[in-house]
Amino acid sequence: MSSTEQTVFRLTAFNGFDNLKPFREPIPTPSAGEVLVKVRSVALNYRDVAIAKSTYPSTIKDNVIPCNDMAGEVVAIGPTTELFKSTFAVGDAVLAPIVPSSFLYGSIDKRPDAVDWTWGSRVEDGVLREYIAIPAHVLIKLPPCKAPRDFVQWAATPCTVTTVWNAFYGNAPLKPGDTVLVLGTGGVSITALILAKAAGATTIVTSSSDKKLEFVRTRLGADYGINYKTTPDWAAEVQRLTNGKGADHVIEVGGPGTMHQSLAAAGRGGLITMIGFLAQNPEDQTPDVIMTALIKGLIIRGITGGSKQQLEEAVRFMSARKLELPVDKVFAFERDEIIAALKHVESGSHIGKVCITVG
């Protein structure tokens, strides 16, 4: 590092992407127990769009550095003490979980304010910067990354992979032969498709685009695709495709606007994992969640991510199976490019992840 300063991006207000501003700030010096990471790639999530436009259902700190997915390289290690001898070396490729310091094990963070402790939240700044000092015990060591593409691939994993792994293995474990219903083709949904197929499940994907459905069938191995525009009663189609059995797992990213059909599509004893809130619900279509869950014996579970342990398990699984997440488009670490990337995520036109190459 020849410079003592870095570029960071902050949201100076929460009413649009134009409030994303670059700043020159000091590169942090790692304390004992920390390592300094050069951020190589950042991945975007719909959460970043929601925060920028004040539609995210949680308080965010003023002038926050946004984004919570990154992969990078260790460039410095904090002082060694009797209690801290780093297991990392300069040059190691690393991945940061979505909770920077404290959610290490298990499937649910039981702190009342847990959502405030992710990167880019009420407490912590995010990762849209060139360098970041991180507690070493939080980081996950990656296989060697020999090209920028490797960092982009791994940057795409923290939020979506942790969330999906938690959905599949944090409660009622996914089993080979199960049927998984995936709503949409965004980052979480595509990750769910890939991990479900690798685990031996039958997969059904919904989309409003025949082109996207063709892509997930021919390129990603989806077993069935349903266009919810041309087949508005897609729950009935799920029941038909499963011979009336219904889905064992439903990855529910729509929220209020799709929950009534997810309930209808789920089979007896099924698990609906509520992850997103993309679709609004007309007041006259509020689903009878309690009665349906009672009659079908459903588990309805909300999650907002997962622990370091779950991400480590998923990284080992993906490495062993040589799985890659599709990256729809990669943008540069420049203000106009990052804003364009956010707009691309907002448009919903992507399949998979949208990433930024930092350095």
- φ/ψ of residue 87, rounded to 5: -90, 0
pLDDT confidence band for 103 (50 / 70 / 90): confident
C-alpha to C-alpha distances, 143 to 139, 151, 239, nearest whole angstrom = 13, 10, 41
Mean pLDDT of the region 110-136: 83
Q: Is 20 helix (H, G, I), strand (E, B) or coil?
A: strand
At 356 the pLDDT is 98
pLDDT higher at 86 or 192: 192
pLDDT confidence band for 58 (50 / 70 / 90): confident
At 3 the pLDDT is 81
At 17 the pLDDT is 97
Mean pLDDT of the region 148-165: 94
At 120 the pLDDT is 86
At 329 the pLDDT is 96
Mean pLDDT of the region 10-22: 97
Mean pLDDT of the region 255-284: 84
At 101 the pLDDT is 65
Count of beta carbons in the 10 Å neighbourhood of residue 295: 11
Q: Are 9 and 21 in contact (CB under 8 A)?
A: yes
- Tell me: pLDDT of 284 over 70: no
Helix (H) or strand (E) holding 309: helix 308-321
Extended beta strands in 91-178, E state: 93-95, 131-135, 140-141
> What is the spatial distance between Cα 312 and Cα 294, in angstroms, rounded to a whole number?
35
Mean pLDDT of the region 116-142: 89
181 has which bridge partners?
204, 250
Task: For Cα atoms 51, 53, 57, give the angle at the middle one, nearest 5 degrees.
Answer: 50
At 114 the pLDDT is 63
Mean pLDDT of the region 193-214: 98
Q: Are 258 and 282 in contact (CB under 8 A)?
A: no
Pinpoint the residues of the chain covered by CATH 3.40.50.720: 162-302
Rg (the chain; Cα; Å) = 20
Task: For Cα atoms 20, 21, 24, give the angle at the middle one, nearest 5 degrees.
Answer: 145
Residues 6+ apart with CB under 8 A from 284: none
pLDDT confidence band for 84 (50 / 70 / 90): low
> What is the spatial distance between Cα 333 and Cα 67, in angstroms, rounded to a whole number?
13
DSSP 103-119: --SSS----TTGGGGSS
CATH code for the structural domain at 5-156+326-357: 3.90.180.10
Mean pLDDT of the region 211-237: 98
pLDDT higher at 138 or 168: 168
Compute CA 245 distance to the chain's CA centroid, rounded to the nearest angstrom. 29
At 106 the pLDDT is 72
At 158 the pLDDT is 94
Q: Is 256 helix (H, G, I), strand (E, B) or coil?
A: helix
- Tell me: pLDDT of 228 over 70: yes
Could you tell me the pTM of the whole model? 0.91
- Tell me: pLDDT of 112 over 80: no
- Tell me: pLDDT of 95 over 70: yes
Q: Are 97 and 308 in contact (CB under 8 A)?
A: yes
Count of beta carbons in the 10 Å neighbourhood of residue 351: 22
Q: Are 8 and 23 in contact (CB under 8 A)?
A: yes
Mean pLDDT of the region 189-204: 98
Pinpoint the residues of the chain covered by CATH 3.90.180.10: 5-156+326-357
> What is the spatial distance between Cα 162 and Cα 88, in angstroms, rounded to a whole number?
22
Top-tier CATH class for 162-302: alpha beta
Residues 6+ apart with CB under 8 A from 245: 179, 239, 267
pLDDT confidence band for 286 (50 / 70 / 90): low
What is the tens place of the pLDDT at every residue in 320-332?
Answer: 999 999 999 999 9
pLDDT higher at 225 or 293: 225
**Mean pLDDT score across all residues of the chain:** 91
> What is the spatial distance between Cα 351 and Cα 326, in angstroms, rounded to a whole number?
7
> What is the spatial distance between Cα 44 and Cα 155, in angstroms, rounded to a whole number?
9
Task: For Cα atoms 325, 323, 307, give the angle at the middle one, nearest 5 degrees.
Answer: 75
Q: Is 173 helix (H, G, I), strand (E, B) or coil?
A: coil
Compute CA 96 distance to the chain's CA centroid, rounded to the nearest angstrom. 12
pLDDT confidence band for 2 (50 / 70 / 90): low
Of 116-120, 167-171, 216-220, 273-277, least confident by mean pLDDT is: 116-120
pLDDT higher at 127 or 124: 127
Give the pairing type, strands 140-141 and 93-95.
Answer: antiparallel
Compute CA 127 distance to the chain's CA centroid, rounded to the nearest angstrom. 14
